[in-house]
Every structure is written in C-alpha cells, then in structure tokens.
Amino acid sequence: MECDLGHLTLSLPDADATRALGARLAAACPPGTLILLRGPLGAGKTTLVEGVVHALGAGHAASPTFVIAREYAGGSMPVSHLDLYRLEDPREVEDLDLGAYLRADGITLVEWPDRAPGEWPADRIEVELSIDGHGRKADVTIFGALAPIVAIDHVAAS
C-alpha cells in the first residue's frame, strides 16, 4: 500500500477487499460526496458500490441493468448509483440532467463517467480499478475541497 496526501494505491486480493474499500469510503465521506469509478469491464466497480451500500445499511446493490441510475434510500445516508456504460453516444445524454442525480445529502457513485458529456464537479473522489493477476488494484485520488475533509488514512486502513 502506498499513501500520500490525497492519493492511495491499494492491492485488493479478492472481491471482499473491494467491498471493504467501499465500506471505508462510506465511513470517511461526508454527505454530498461524488465518487467516479473508472476501470475496464469486470474491474470491480459495482462490487465497490455493494460495499458502500451495505456499509450504510441501505440494502443490496446490483448493477442498474435497465436503468442508468438506482437509488438506495433506506440507510444512514442515501446512495445514488449511476452506470453510464450503455450510453454509447454522449449526445444521448445531452438532455439528460445528470446533475439531478448528484445527491447533496448522500453519496453518488458513477460507473463509466466518461460516457457523460461535459465536466463532473471538481470536488470528487476518483477510484481507478485495474486487473492485477487474480485480484485488483485500486488508485484512489481525492480532489478539490474534499481533500482536506476525507481522511485518506481512514480509507487506507484495512
């Protein structure tokens, strides 16, 4: 594990480790946090969302297969989960108000954020997941005003 101010590289040997990272992010992030999840097909993005949703007691996450967004409202903080994979053409989302899905009172997680046109808010966390043998590697970067608020050591601790 490498950890410096605002950036962290973690080895995630199995899916439970990915869920545990999600749980630590859920505990460390204030309401209003936006988390962009990057990485190829099967990298573990939805698995990380499962960890966030479970840790907040908001139920069980699943891939929003037929909808682009799913809300989990029952827990200590609401979670909004967007999966933009099927938006092949950014023009499809031009009149879709993605800003409406960004929760001020909870955590918003976005899979395939580059499918959206325009810019995401500058204050955000990015998690880049990559395949690493049988496991995964996670690069976590905290940007903007969130950097002094989210304790990276709490995200790092296993």
Nearer to ligand ATP by C-beta: 103 or 136? 136
Can you tell me the distance from the alpha carbon of 86 to that of 91, in angstroms, rounded to the nearest whole number? 12
Can you tell me the distance from the alpha carbon of 103 to that of 80, in angstroms, rounded to the nearest whole number? 7
Which residues, numbered 109-148, are part of the site for ligand ATP (CB under 6 A)? Answer: 111, 135-136
Cα atoms found within 13 Å of the Cα of residue 98, Cβ hemisphere only: 25
Query: Site for ligand ATP (CB under 6 A): which residue of 26, 33, 35, 46?
Result: 46
SS3 71: strand
- Does 1 engage in binding with ligand ATP (CB under 6 A)? no
Nearer to ligand ATP by C-beta: 94 or 132? 132
Strand partners, 12: 136
Nearer to Mg ion by C-beta: 136 or 152? 136
Q: State the virtual CA torsion across 38, 42, 46, 52 in degrees, nearest 10.
A: -80
| Interface residue list for Mg ion (CB under 5 A) | 45-46, 63
| Interface residue list for ligand ATP (CB under 6 A) | 12, 14-15, 17-18, 39, 41-47, 63, 111, 135-136
